[in-house]
Structure 1
Amino acid sequence: MYDVIIAGGGSMGIAAAYFRAKQGARVLVLDQFEIPNQMGSHHGMTRMLRLNYGHGSSYVPLALDSIKLWRELEAETGRELFRPTGAITIGPADSNFLKETIESAADHGIPHKVMNAKELRAKWRGFNIADDFIGCWDSSAGFLFSEDCITAYKDGAIKFGAEIHENEAVTALKSTEDGVTVETDKGTYQGKKVIVTAGAWLQKLLPEIDLHIQPVRKTISWFKPLEDNIYDGDFPCYVFDTKAHGLIYGFPDFDQHGIKIGSMENDLKCDPDELNRNYGAYNQDEGDVRAFLESYMPQADGELLEGKVCMFTRTPDDDFIIDVHPNDPNIILAGGFSGHGFKFASVIGSILADLSADGFTDKDISFFKLDRFNID
């Protein structure tokens, strides 16, 4: 019998495997695809890590723990996993997202600088900034190399003795007197505990409870700047909150990959098993971010270099789910990361490992509980 079986070896699952195996547990990871892969929510080369956080001040302590754990993983593996670039959040002065970003920094003593439009234009000429816009500069921010992070945790989990079964899909979970039986398309396994981190497939693995989550189709795009040396060098990661385009996020041009950009808006609800993975299948795939570039980053509005399709799994409030199954304390579940979860994979992996070992974590995850949706 395994101490813990992890159903889903993506961002959170493979991190949990690493931390639990490092504790000396017997760990099995099951994933229907290879780890990492292009099928879920962790591909696309990079993910932003910010400490000044527009999704709520409660996330800041977790972000601080996350960056510490990413740095420890870098030191352990000798790989570059996090590249500091800083990040700027920009929008009209009355933007609630921007207000929350500034307040979250102030509440937790995070270094930041509020900048007016003139200062923003002087600092980064690649932005076209309206006079009524302001920005919040986060010097501690940067981006993670997402697939490299997944690989580092996978290699570490194996080093500490975890078994990893790729291309093996979990089909059912059954509670028993002494644990949980996990059935797959290739076999049956017994675990004292099970951690379910199945991403967009989470609801399908737990049909007995309504998790109030919705997988949605999203795209990311890379564009070639029209001018050299304007979006590389010391150009930061960025988040814009605009009335016309909603929340837009992006990354600097590094190693001549082009600028990467995505939209948090215009979700297309989807079934993860029937997802249209062809970039360009919908006009909005390129059109939404192209329209933003025309207005706010015109020198980046060049040739489309690449586009990819991925998924978010949304909750009604865009906060995560991390909890114990309401009917079985041996099943721990995590999901609904709503497009802003990857940066936290390190700390969430450690939280899930502790929950499976001790039933307790010293991190505040109270706002991730299922009971906020009145689930019993």
Structure 2
Amino acid sequence: MIHKSYDVIIAGAGSMGMSAGYHLAKQGVRTLMIDAFDPPHQEGSHHGEPRLIRHAYRGGAAYISMAIRAHELWNELEQETDTELLVQSGVLNMMHLETYPFSDGQNDHVTYKRPVEMLSAEEIRQRWPGLKLPDSFAGLFEPEAGYLYSEKCVAAYRRKALEAGAELLAHTPVEHIKVETEGVAVHTRSGVYYANQVILSAGAWFKTLEPFIRLPIRSIRKVVGWFEAQAQLFDAGRFPGFTLGGPEGGYYGFPSIGGAGLKIGRHDTGVEWKPGDAVAPFGHYKEDEGDLRNLLEAYMPQAAGRLVQGTVCKYEFSPDDNFIIDRHPEYPQVLLAGGFSGHGFKFSSVVGEMLSDLIIKGSTEQDIRMFSLSRFHNLV
């Protein structure tokens, strides 16, 4: 069955797709968002609140510019929806200097006039006595950074997109895509939908869109856990969001919000996953809790209490951990947004704006040269 045509169809209405749907619809673009589930949901990367938002970024100037604009857009969405989405808790980035030295890119904050504090391990221990960092560590504290309530963010964009006239087709996997003379045909079990342009933002599910597009993306099973922690040391308002890079690997986390426990996850490692395969629940592997607990016992022993909750989500890693934001190599009317590599959510507000600009204007003010698909010409 053939359905009506649209200006734009978005395949994958998670964090990036839903944001793009909002930015397009509010400018009068006839937009259909299609998702295999019902966002916000637990089948992608945005569930299990919260997510960090920070500005002094290892990726350098392009990421910092995007982070600053993303922060502005999250504040605007808060005002439009009268909903708290972003908590400016500060973020403390802790590094073992021999294993994870601070890069020049993290010093680009000076160019953008973002306030940061460089702290020794002793200064960190004095300010946050729950942290037991050896002197071989140092820190960079961003007082204007914080965390986002990710599921509330996706829900807010969904509500505003639909209010602006976008349509959402939930519980509808995309079966295949074909470029025809009438436009781009998106085939689903409920019929075929046409659009002049299409955005593909399928996250960890990009392999389901092959052979129309093949991206060098690995889908990885990731876990996070919440642990009982001493309130006077780790409660929200007392303790910041954090990253920690040491001999044990790269970790990130959040204060205990509303007594939920300190949340912590590991950014590196993980088990490869393919769309359609079952995802093992939290605790299936001993390292699910083991890695997280070992890190807490080493550096935050008073936050290494009982495991309150554990959950599983999915990352979509590109080979270099940088995003893929580009046009299809054969079909310029098809935009690609993927490979967000476990650090993309904070940028979803600005990525949606960027995708909207690329659709409407053909260009974006943000520098996206480093996100070109052509950098992987030997892999695609």
TM-score by length of 2: 0.95
Q: Distance in 2 between matches of 1:130 and 1:317?
A: 30
1:179 deviation in Å? 1.8
Q: Give the counterpart of 1:339 among 338, 342, 350.
A: 342
Percent sequence identity over aligned pairs: 42
Report what 2:174 is aligned to. Answer: 170
Report what 1:12 is aligned to. Answer: 16
1:177 deviation in Å? 2.0
2:259 equivalent to 1:256? yes
Contact 1:32–1:166 under 8 Å retained in 2: yes
2:304 equivalent to 1:297? no
1:202 deviation in Å? 1.3
Cα-Cα RMSD: 1.4
Q: Give the counterpart of 1:214 among 202, 208, 218.
A: 218
Contact 1:54–1:97 under 8 Å retained in 2: no
1:96 deviation in Å? 4.1
Report what 1:355 is aligned to. Answer: 358
Q: Give the counterpart of 2:153 among 149, 162, 180.
A: 149
Q: Give the counterpart of 2:84 among 80, 87, 109.
A: 80
2:230 equivalent to 1:230? no
1:178 deviation in Å? 3.9
Q: Equivalent residues in 2 for 1:9-158 (5 A)?
A: 9-96=13-100, 98-100=102-104, 102-158=106-162
1:107 deviation in Å? 3.9
SS at match of 1:183: strand
Sort the Cα spacing of 1:101 and 1:305 in 2 relative to 1 into closer, same or farther, 3 A.
Answer: farther
Report what 1:317 is aligned to. Answer: 320
Q: Structure 2 counterpart of 1:175, which letter?
A: V
Gaps of 5+ in 1: none
Deviates more, 1:251-260 or 1:86-95: 86-95
Contact 1:8–1:29 under 8 Å retained in 2: yes
Residues 180-217 of structure 1 deviation map (CA, whole Å, 9 limit, x = unaligned): 00001111111111111111111321424431110001
Sort the Cα spacing of 1:209 and 1:21 in 2 relative to 1 into closer, same or farther, 3 A.
Answer: closer
Contact 1:319–1:338 under 8 Å retained in 2: yes
Deviates more, 1:354-363 or 1:212-221: 354-363
Contact 2:14–2:40 under 8 Å retained in 1: yes
Residues 148-184 of structure 1 deviation map (CA, whole Å, 9 limit, x = unaligned): 0000000000000011111111111100124200001
Q: Structure 2 counterpart of 1:23, which letter?
A: Q
Q: Give the counterpart of 1:181 among 181, 185, 193.
A: 185
Report what 2:332 is aligned to. Answer: 329
SS at match of 1:352: helix
Pairs aligned (count): 374
Gaps of 5+ in 2: none
Q: Distance in 2 between matches of 1:284 and 1:300?
A: 18
Contact 1:102–1:136 under 8 Å retained in 2: no
Contact 1:57–1:103 under 8 Å retained in 2: no
Sort the Cα spacing of 1:339 and 1:100 in 2 relative to 1 into closer, same or farther, 3 A.
Answer: farther
Contact 1:320–1:335 under 8 Å retained in 2: yes
SS at match of 2:232: coil
TM-score by length of 1: 0.96
Contact 2:232–2:238 under 8 Å retained in 1: no
